[in-house]
Amino acid sequence: MDLQAILDGIHAELLPRLGEGKVADYIPELAKVDPRQFGMAIVTVDGQVHSVGDAQAPFSIQSISKVFMLTLALGKVGEQLWTRVGREPSGSAFNSIVQLEHEAGIPRNPFINAGAIAISDVVLSGHAPREAIGELLRFVRYLSDDEAVTIDEKVARSETQTGFRNFALANFMRSYGNLDHPVEHVLGVYFHQCALSMNCQQLAKAGLYLAARGTNPLTGHSVVSPKRARRINALMLTCGHYDGSGDFAYHVGLPGKSGVGGGIMAVAPGIASIAVWSPGLNKVGNSQLGAVALEMLAARTGWSVFGD
Ligand code: GLU
Protein backbone atom coordinates (compact mmCIF):
# COMPACT_ATOMS: atom_id res chain seq x y z
CA MET A 1 0.00 0.00 0.00
CA ASP A 2 1.41 3.41 -0.97
CA LEU A 3 0.76 5.35 2.23
CA GLN A 4 2.52 8.48 1.00
CA ALA A 5 0.24 8.61 -2.05
CA ILE A 6 -2.79 8.17 0.21
CA LEU A 7 -1.66 11.05 2.45
CA ASP A 8 -0.91 13.25 -0.56
CA GLY A 9 -4.37 12.49 -1.96
CA ILE A 10 -6.12 13.35 1.32
CA HIS A 11 -4.15 16.60 1.57
CA ALA A 12 -4.97 17.62 -2.00
CA GLU A 13 -8.68 16.93 -1.48
CA LEU A 14 -8.81 18.90 1.73
CA LEU A 15 -6.84 21.94 0.53
CA PRO A 16 -9.93 23.79 -0.70
CA ARG A 17 -11.59 23.25 2.69
CA LEU A 18 -8.77 24.58 4.91
CA GLY A 19 -10.10 27.03 7.47
CA GLU A 20 -13.33 25.10 8.13
CA GLY A 21 -14.43 24.93 11.77
CA LYS A 22 -13.66 27.35 14.54
CA VAL A 23 -10.44 27.62 16.54
CA ALA A 24 -10.78 27.28 20.31
CA ASP A 25 -11.13 30.86 21.50
CA TYR A 26 -11.82 30.30 25.19
CA ILE A 27 -8.04 29.96 25.61
CA PRO A 28 -6.76 33.35 24.35
CA GLU A 29 -3.41 31.96 23.20
CA LEU A 30 -5.12 29.32 21.02
CA ALA A 31 -7.43 31.90 19.48
CA LYS A 32 -4.37 33.36 17.70
CA VAL A 33 -3.64 30.21 15.69
CA ASP A 34 -4.14 30.43 11.92
CA PRO A 35 -6.96 27.98 11.10
CA ARG A 36 -5.78 27.38 7.53
CA GLN A 37 -3.19 24.79 8.54
CA PHE A 38 -3.23 21.05 8.05
CA GLY A 39 -0.65 18.38 8.77
CA MET A 40 -0.73 14.62 9.02
CA ALA A 41 1.82 11.91 9.80
CA ILE A 42 1.77 8.12 9.90
CA VAL A 43 4.38 5.96 11.58
CA THR A 44 3.98 2.24 10.96
CA VAL A 45 5.02 -0.49 13.39
CA ASP A 46 7.62 -1.61 10.84
CA GLY A 47 9.25 1.82 10.86
CA GLN A 48 7.91 3.70 7.84
CA VAL A 49 7.35 7.41 8.45
CA HIS A 50 5.12 9.38 6.10
CA SER A 51 3.89 12.93 6.42
CA VAL A 52 2.18 15.69 4.51
CA GLY A 53 1.40 19.41 4.86
CA ASP A 54 2.27 21.13 8.12
CA ALA A 55 3.39 17.90 9.78
CA GLN A 56 6.52 19.58 11.18
CA ALA A 57 4.69 22.56 12.69
CA PRO A 58 4.37 22.37 16.49
CA PHE A 59 0.90 22.84 17.94
CA SER A 60 -0.72 22.66 21.37
CA ILE A 61 -1.65 19.02 21.93
CA GLN A 62 -4.10 19.93 24.72
CA SER A 63 -6.23 16.92 25.68
CA ILE A 64 -4.16 14.43 23.71
CA SER A 65 -1.79 14.71 26.68
CA LYS A 66 -4.46 12.94 28.73
CA VAL A 67 -3.45 9.65 27.08
CA PHE A 68 0.15 10.04 28.22
CA MET A 69 -0.88 11.11 31.72
CA LEU A 70 -3.25 8.14 31.97
CA THR A 71 -0.36 5.87 31.01
CA LEU A 72 1.84 7.43 33.71
CA ALA A 73 -0.88 7.24 36.36
CA LEU A 74 -1.61 3.57 35.62
CA GLY A 75 2.11 2.92 35.95
CA LYS A 76 2.07 4.53 39.39
CA VAL A 77 -1.06 3.12 41.00
CA GLY A 78 -2.27 0.39 38.63
CA GLU A 79 -5.90 -0.68 38.68
CA GLN A 80 -6.48 1.29 41.87
CA LEU A 81 -6.79 4.30 39.60
CA TRP A 82 -10.34 3.21 38.84
CA THR A 83 -11.49 4.15 42.34
CA ARG A 84 -10.81 7.79 41.35
CA VAL A 85 -12.22 7.89 37.85
CA GLY A 86 -14.64 5.80 35.77
CA ARG A 87 -14.43 4.19 32.36
CA GLU A 88 -17.71 5.14 30.73
CA PRO A 89 -18.37 7.63 27.93
CA SER A 90 -19.78 10.81 29.40
CA GLY A 91 -22.28 11.83 26.77
CA SER A 92 -21.66 15.43 27.81
CA ALA A 93 -19.26 18.24 27.00
CA PHE A 94 -15.56 17.98 27.82
CA ASN A 95 -15.81 20.55 30.59
CA SER A 96 -19.25 19.67 31.98
CA ILE A 97 -19.82 19.88 35.72
CA VAL A 98 -23.37 18.48 35.86
CA GLN A 99 -22.48 14.79 35.96
CA LEU A 100 -19.91 15.30 38.69
CA GLU A 101 -22.54 16.23 41.21
CA HIS A 102 -24.75 13.25 40.38
CA GLU A 103 -21.77 10.94 40.63
CA ALA A 104 -20.31 12.31 43.87
CA GLY A 105 -17.15 13.85 42.45
CA ILE A 106 -15.99 10.75 40.50
CA PRO A 107 -15.53 11.77 36.85
CA ARG A 108 -16.92 9.48 34.18
CA ASN A 109 -13.62 8.80 32.41
CA PRO A 110 -9.96 9.90 32.25
CA PHE A 111 -10.41 11.94 29.07
CA ILE A 112 -12.97 14.53 30.08
CA ASN A 113 -11.44 17.49 31.91
CA ALA A 114 -12.58 16.43 35.38
CA GLY A 115 -11.15 12.93 34.88
CA ALA A 116 -7.87 14.29 33.62
CA ILE A 117 -7.62 16.68 36.56
CA ALA A 118 -8.09 13.74 38.97
CA ILE A 119 -5.31 11.94 37.09
CA SER A 120 -2.99 14.94 37.35
CA ASP A 121 -3.58 14.72 41.10
CA VAL A 122 -2.45 11.07 41.05
CA VAL A 123 0.70 11.85 39.07
CA LEU A 124 1.43 14.75 41.41
CA SER A 125 1.58 12.41 44.42
CA GLY A 126 4.96 12.58 46.15
CA HIS A 127 6.17 15.39 43.89
CA ALA A 128 6.29 19.15 43.72
CA PRO A 129 4.22 20.34 40.72
CA ARG A 130 7.40 21.26 38.83
CA GLU A 131 8.71 17.70 39.23
CA ALA A 132 5.48 16.12 38.02
CA ILE A 133 5.56 18.35 34.94
CA GLY A 134 9.19 17.39 34.38
CA GLU A 135 8.31 13.72 34.67
CA LEU A 136 5.64 14.04 32.01
CA LEU A 137 7.91 15.99 29.68
CA ARG A 138 10.66 13.37 30.02
CA PHE A 139 8.11 10.61 29.41
CA VAL A 140 6.75 12.19 26.23
CA ARG A 141 10.29 12.83 24.94
CA TYR A 142 11.09 9.18 25.64
CA LEU A 143 7.94 8.02 23.84
CA SER A 144 8.59 10.15 20.78
CA ASP A 145 12.35 9.61 21.00
CA ASP A 146 12.72 13.35 20.52
CA GLU A 147 14.27 15.79 22.96
CA ALA A 148 12.83 18.72 21.02
CA VAL A 149 9.34 18.29 22.53
CA THR A 150 8.59 21.27 24.78
CA ILE A 151 5.89 22.89 26.86
CA ASP A 152 4.57 26.23 25.62
CA GLU A 153 4.64 28.42 28.72
CA LYS A 154 2.48 31.07 27.04
CA VAL A 155 -0.33 28.58 26.51
CA ALA A 156 -0.01 27.29 30.09
CA ARG A 157 -0.18 30.85 31.41
CA SER A 158 -3.10 31.72 29.18
CA GLU A 159 -5.08 28.79 30.56
CA THR A 160 -4.09 29.51 34.14
CA GLN A 161 -5.51 33.01 33.74
CA THR A 162 -8.75 31.99 32.08
CA GLY A 163 -9.45 28.39 33.14
CA PHE A 164 -12.25 29.29 35.52
CA ARG A 165 -14.26 26.23 34.65
CA ASN A 166 -11.36 23.91 35.32
CA PHE A 167 -10.90 25.63 38.69
CA ALA A 168 -14.59 24.99 39.34
CA LEU A 169 -14.28 21.31 38.41
CA ALA A 170 -11.19 20.89 40.57
CA ASN A 171 -12.70 22.65 43.59
CA PHE A 172 -15.83 20.58 43.22
CA MET A 173 -13.85 17.35 43.22
CA ARG A 174 -11.75 18.51 46.12
CA SER A 175 -14.94 19.08 48.10
CA TYR A 176 -15.83 15.43 47.51
CA GLY A 177 -12.37 14.32 48.63
CA ASN A 178 -11.34 13.22 45.14
CA LEU A 179 -8.26 15.49 45.02
CA ASP A 180 -5.43 15.06 47.51
CA HIS A 181 -3.44 18.18 46.62
CA PRO A 182 -4.20 21.91 46.55
CA VAL A 183 -6.26 22.88 43.51
CA GLU A 184 -3.58 25.36 42.32
CA HIS A 185 -0.95 22.63 42.29
CA VAL A 186 -3.12 20.09 40.49
CA LEU A 187 -4.15 22.62 37.86
CA GLY A 188 -0.55 23.77 37.50
CA VAL A 189 0.24 20.24 36.36
CA TYR A 190 -2.91 19.96 34.24
CA PHE A 191 -2.41 23.26 32.38
CA HIS A 192 1.22 22.43 31.64
CA GLN A 193 0.41 18.98 30.30
CA CYS A 194 -2.21 20.53 28.00
CA ALA A 195 0.40 23.04 26.83
CA LEU A 196 2.73 20.35 25.48
CA SER A 197 3.79 21.51 22.06
CA MET A 198 4.44 18.82 19.43
CA ASN A 199 4.25 18.34 15.70
CA CYS A 200 2.35 15.55 13.92
CA GLN A 201 5.44 13.47 13.37
CA GLN A 202 6.48 13.60 17.03
CA LEU A 203 2.95 12.82 18.13
CA ALA A 204 2.56 9.84 15.79
CA LYS A 205 5.85 8.46 17.12
CA ALA A 206 4.76 9.03 20.70
CA GLY A 207 1.59 7.00 20.12
CA LEU A 208 3.34 4.08 18.49
CA TYR A 209 3.50 2.02 21.71
CA LEU A 210 -0.29 1.84 21.62
CA ALA A 211 -0.24 0.41 18.10
CA ALA A 212 2.46 -2.11 18.95
CA ARG A 213 1.36 -3.98 22.07
CA GLY A 214 2.93 -1.53 24.48
CA THR A 215 6.47 -1.38 23.06
CA ASN A 216 7.80 1.22 20.64
CA PRO A 217 9.22 -0.96 17.86
CA LEU A 218 11.45 1.84 16.54
CA THR A 219 13.33 2.36 19.81
CA GLY A 220 12.67 -0.95 21.55
CA HIS A 221 11.37 1.05 24.54
CA SER A 222 8.90 -1.02 26.51
CA VAL A 223 6.22 1.32 27.85
CA VAL A 224 3.29 -0.79 29.06
CA SER A 225 2.13 -4.42 28.85
CA PRO A 226 0.12 -5.54 25.81
CA LYS A 227 -2.96 -5.78 28.04
CA ARG A 228 -2.59 -2.19 29.22
CA ALA A 229 -2.07 -0.92 25.68
CA ARG A 230 -5.24 -2.73 24.61
CA ARG A 231 -7.20 -1.19 27.46
CA ILE A 232 -5.97 2.35 26.82
CA ASN A 233 -7.02 1.87 23.19
CA ALA A 234 -10.47 0.74 24.36
CA LEU A 235 -10.83 3.92 26.41
CA MET A 236 -9.75 6.08 23.50
CA LEU A 237 -12.29 4.41 21.27
CA THR A 238 -15.17 4.86 23.70
CA CYS A 239 -14.23 8.19 25.32
CA GLY A 240 -11.52 9.87 23.22
CA HIS A 241 -13.72 12.42 21.50
CA TYR A 242 -15.99 13.60 24.29
CA ASP A 243 -19.56 13.77 23.17
CA GLY A 244 -18.44 12.99 19.62
CA SER A 245 -16.91 9.60 20.49
CA GLY A 246 -19.72 7.55 18.98
CA ASP A 247 -19.66 9.56 15.80
CA PHE A 248 -15.87 9.22 15.50
CA ALA A 249 -16.11 5.43 15.97
CA TYR A 250 -18.86 5.34 13.34
CA HIS A 251 -16.97 7.36 10.74
CA VAL A 252 -13.35 6.47 11.45
CA GLY A 253 -13.36 3.28 13.53
CA LEU A 254 -9.99 3.79 15.22
CA PRO A 255 -9.12 4.47 18.85
CA GLY A 256 -8.20 8.15 18.99
CA LYS A 257 -7.84 11.18 21.22
CA SER A 258 -8.55 14.73 20.20
CA GLY A 259 -7.51 18.05 21.70
CA VAL A 260 -8.90 21.57 21.37
CA GLY A 261 -5.65 22.63 19.70
CA GLY A 262 -7.02 20.77 16.67
CA GLY A 263 -4.89 17.65 16.93
CA ILE A 264 -6.02 14.03 16.89
CA MET A 265 -3.83 11.04 17.65
CA ALA A 266 -5.23 7.74 16.36
CA VAL A 267 -4.08 4.16 16.55
CA ALA A 268 -4.48 1.32 14.06
CA PRO A 269 -3.58 -1.58 16.38
CA GLY A 270 -0.80 -3.77 14.99
CA ILE A 271 -0.33 -1.42 12.03
CA ALA A 272 0.40 2.25 12.70
CA SER A 273 0.05 5.37 14.78
CA ILE A 274 -1.35 8.47 13.11
CA ALA A 275 -1.45 12.16 14.04
CA VAL A 276 -3.40 14.84 12.25
CA TRP A 277 -3.71 18.55 12.99
CA SER A 278 -6.06 21.19 11.71
CA PRO A 279 -7.04 23.89 14.21
CA GLY A 280 -10.68 24.48 13.17
CA LEU A 281 -12.99 22.59 15.54
CA ASN A 282 -16.49 21.18 15.11
CA LYS A 283 -19.34 21.82 17.55
CA VAL A 284 -18.16 19.29 20.12
CA GLY A 285 -14.57 20.56 20.14
CA ASN A 286 -12.87 18.04 17.86
CA SER A 287 -10.80 18.96 14.78
CA GLN A 288 -13.26 19.19 11.92
CA LEU A 289 -10.89 18.43 9.03
CA GLY A 290 -8.75 16.17 11.20
CA ALA A 291 -11.69 13.84 11.64
CA VAL A 292 -12.52 14.01 7.91
CA ALA A 293 -8.90 13.18 7.04
CA LEU A 294 -8.91 10.17 9.36
CA GLU A 295 -12.18 8.98 7.89
CA MET A 296 -10.61 9.15 4.42
CA LEU A 297 -7.50 7.35 5.65
CA ALA A 298 -9.50 4.56 7.30
CA ALA A 299 -11.62 4.11 4.17
CA ARG A 300 -8.59 4.01 1.86
CA THR A 301 -6.48 1.68 4.00
CA GLY A 302 -9.16 -0.57 5.46
CA TRP A 303 -7.65 0.04 8.91
CA SER A 304 -10.90 0.45 10.87
CA VAL A 305 -10.89 -1.89 13.86
CA PHE A 306 -14.41 -2.90 12.81
CA GLY A 307 -13.29 -4.39 9.50
CA ASP A 308 -12.54 -3.10 6.05
N1 GLU B 1 -6.81 22.54 28.25
C2 GLU B 1 -8.14 22.34 27.71
C3 GLU B 1 -9.17 22.64 28.78
O4 GLU B 1 -8.96 22.30 29.89
C5 GLU B 1 -8.24 20.94 27.23
C6 GLU B 1 -9.51 20.67 26.51
C7 GLU B 1 -9.34 19.83 25.29
O8 GLU B 1 -8.29 19.77 24.65
O9 GLU B 1 -10.31 19.21 24.93
O10 GLU B 1 -10.17 23.24 28.53
**What is the tens place of the pLDDT at every residue in 64-105?**
999 999 999 999 999 999 999 999 998 887 788 888 988 899
Fold match flag (3-62+197-301 vs 65-194): yes
CA pair distance 132, 130, nearest whole angstrom: 6
Give the nearest ligand 1 atom to 116 CA: 4
Give the nearest ligand 1 atom to 26 CA: 10
Query: Of these residues, 51, 60, 65, 66, which one is catalytic?
Result: 66
Query: Of these residues, 183, 260, 267, 292, which one is catalytic?
Result: 260
Q: Compute, in angstroms, the gap from residue 166 CA to the centroid of ligand 1.
A: 9
Q: Is 190 designated active site?
A: yes
CA pair distance 71, 166, nearest whole angstrom: 22
pLDDT of residue 95: 82
Fold classification of 65-194 is Beta-lactamase (3.40.710)
Pocket-testing residue among 26, 113, 162, ligand 1, by greatest number of atoms within 8 A of Cβ: 113
Give the nearest ligand 1 atom to 242 CA: 9
Q: Compute, in angstroms, the gap from residue 53 CA to the centroid of ligand 1.
A: 25
pLDDT of residue 296: 98
CA pair distance 127, 133, nearest whole angstrom: 9
Q: Compute, in angstroms, the gap from residue 195 CA to the centroid of ligand 1.
A: 9
Give the nearest ligand 1 atom to 260 CA: 8
Pocket of ligand 1 (CB under 6 A): 62-63, 94-95, 113, 159, 166, 194, 259-260, 285
What is the reported pTM? 0.97
Whose CA is closest to atom 2 on ligand 1? 62
Q: Compute, in angstroms, the gap from residue 5 CA to the centroid of ligand 1.
A: 33
Whose CA is closest to atom 3 on ligand 1? 113
One-letter amino acid identity for 57? A
Architecture of the domain made up of 3-62+197-301 = 3-Layer(aba) Sandwich (3.40)
Q: Which residues of the chain have pLDDT under 50?
A: none
Q: Compute, in angstroms, the gap from residue 113 CA to the centroid of ligand 1.
A: 7
pLDDT of residue 96: 83
Secondary structure in 3-state letters for the chain: CCHHHHHHHHHHHHHHHCCCCECCCCCHHHHCCCCCCCEEEEEECCCCEEEEECCCCCEECHHHHHHHHHHHHHHHHHHHHHHCCCCCCCCCCCCCCHHHHHCCCCCCCCCCHHHHHHHHHHHHCCCCHHHHHHHHHHHHHHHHCCCCCEECHHHHHHHHHHCHHHHHHHHHHHHCCCCCCCHHHHHHHHHHHHCEEECHHHHHHHCHHHHCCCECCCCCCECCCHHHHHHHHHHHHHHCCHHHHHHHHHHCCCCEEECCCCEEEEEECCCEEEEEECCCECCCCCEHHHHHHHHHHHHHHCCCCCCC
pLDDT of residue 23: 95
Q: Is 66 designated active site?
A: yes
Give how far Cα 81 sits from Cα of 69, 119, 130, 207, Å.
12, 8, 22, 21
Query: Of these residues, 190, 209, 267, 273, which one is catalytic?
Result: 190
Q: Compute, in angstroms, the gap from residue 222 CA to the centroid of ligand 1.
A: 29
Q: Is 260 designated active site?
A: yes
Query: Of these residues, 33, 51, 60, 242, which one is catalytic?
Result: 242
Q: Domain ranges in the chain?
A: 3-62+197-301, 65-194
